[in-house]
Structure formats: C-alpha cells, structure tokens
Amino acid sequence: MGFELALLLAKDNYDLFLVDVDAEKLQQAKEEITALYPSEIQLLHKDLSQQNVSEEIFQALDGRTIDVLINNAGFGIFGSFNDTDWERDAAMLNLHVMTTTHLTKLVLKGMVARGRGKILNMSSLAAFQPGPLMSLYYASKAYILSFSEAIANELKGTGVTVTCLCPGQTKTCFQEVVSSGSKASENKIKFNIACPKEVAEYGYEAMQKGKVVAVPGNFNKILSKLPRFVPRRTATAIIRKIQEKNRDNQ
C-alpha cells in the first residue's frame, strides 16, 4: 500500500522521503518509482516500531518542508491477548499509536504555520468494532481513527487536513507478518479482498479532497456501520467467529 501511495505522489510531482524497516525493498521501490517519474527520492532505513524513531526521522528531514505526511506502516498480531508475546504487542502499539501520533505532531506545526498540508493516517475497517483474537490491532486502529477525526476537527480553517483511510481486507503483505513465526499467516476467507492499487487511489483522492474518513468499497461501508444497528456484544462475537474461520486448520 505504501508503494502505491508513493507512486501516486510521484505522479503528481512530489519529491519523496520514504521510511521502512526493509532497506532492500526501499531501494527497489526507489528504482521502480524513478523509472516512471522524475521525483527526487530519499530513503531512510528505520524500524518505525521503535521508541523515539519519530524524532530521528524528523531530524533526518533537516528542515525540509513537508506538504504531505502519510502514516502507512503497520502490522497485525493474531492470538488470544493472554498468549501473545508482549514485546511484539508493544512494538505494534508503538508503531500504530506512538509513532503515528508523534510524527503527526512534529510535522503538523510546520504545516499549520504555512497554512497548508495534508495528512493521511492508515487505519482499518477494524477500527469500528472490538476484535477478539486480534484485540490490540483492532484497538490501535480504533485509536488512529478517533485521533484523526479529532484533530481534523481542530484543524478546520487552518488549511491543513487530516484523512483516515479505513480499508477492509486488502491483498498486501500484511498477512505475511500477522503472528510472525506461527502458523496463522493466511486468511481463509477470500471474499471482499481489495486490490491495493485501488485502495491507495481511493485514499489518495480522499486525502486530496480533505475528506476526514475514507472507507473504500460499498460492502465495507455497510460493515463499518454494523455496530450501530446490532449490540456491541453481538458484533464482537461475529468478529471472533470470522477470526476463527480465517485461521482454521492453519
């Protein structure tokens, strides 16, 4: 998803500052993008799940003007909260909550001072209800949605917009790192899996228009509203059944 969003930015003549934990894939992305578009691209090899990485990234920007910030990185953890590894739990929470929040805070001040800027935060359809067997992932995505909606309201009239993209299942490498090291690495349910290019285009257009919440796909829009019409306990039970079905016989 990050690569597709970077392509869209480059197509619109933005210069790029790309950050990822995988240095090899970063270089590959740069080569593929520059083969298509003349953007200036700088790479930073950083683990976004580590503490204080936001400050390191901001310092590496060296005072450059940031017109667009996309907080895209993320991963999921499958399993009962009682059984999952705390170090991995903490890394995911740090990535989804602390890094997203701190990077936004650091970049936002300059955007507000200039009277322009766009922020795109990657959440998920998971943000709209609790998720047994992926409890921290669902909760962290709910945080991103709530945080994004709140600051979008605060920023009205400043020239700065915040968009929260909430896709459903998307065909990316996400499933490869869910419960890394366990058998639970591939969804059994293949229905309603979106193309990452289409999701990125939808989110990018929503960001450019300043839309606050973007849920791609009509079926996903319906699912996002489901907790309004059924008891939360029922919605939570349904999500658990889906998670169990997804990981059945892994």
Whole-number pLDDT of residue 246: 72
98 in any annotated domain: yes
pLDDT, average across residues 12-39: 97
d(CA 122, CA 74): 8
- pLDDT per position as a tens digit, 40-86: 999 999 999 999 999 999 999 999 999 999 999 999 999 999 999 99
Burial of 37 (0-12, 13-18, 19+ CB in 10 A): middle
19 in any annotated domain: no
Q: Where in the sequence is the domain holding 136, given as residue range(s)?
A: 46-246
Whole-number pLDDT of residue 194: 76
Alpha carbon dihedral 110, 204, 71, 220, in 10-degree steps, equals 140
In total, how many domains does the chain have? 1
27 in any annotated domain: no
Specify the CATH number for the domain of residue 79.
3.40.50.720
Whole-angstrom Cα Rg for the chain: 18
Report whether pLDDT(189) > 90: no
d(CA 81, CA 90): 12
d(CA 201, CA 198): 5
- pLDDT per position as a tens digit, 197-247: 999 999 999 999 999 999 998 888 988 887 788 888 888 888 888 888 876
Q: Which amino acid is at 52?
A: N
| Number of residues assigned to the chain | 250
Whole-number pLDDT of residue 181: 43
pLDDT-derived band at 249, boundaries 50, 70, 90: very low
11 in any annotated domain: no
Report whether pLDDT(146) > 60: yes
Strands 41-45 vs 68-71: parallel, antiparallel or unpaired: unpaired
154 in any annotated domain: yes
Q: Which candidate, 150, 130, 139, places its Cα nearest to that of 76? A: 139
Whole-number pLDDT of residue 183: 43
pLDDT-derived band at 172, boundaries 50, 70, 90: low
- pLDDT per position as a tens digit, 120-140: 999 999 999 999 999 999 999
108 in any annotated domain: yes
pLDDT-derived band at 248, boundaries 50, 70, 90: low
232 in any annotated domain: yes
Percent of the chain with pLDDT over 90: 75
Helix, strand and coil content of the chain, in percent to the nearest 5, comes to 50, 10, 35
95 in any annotated domain: yes
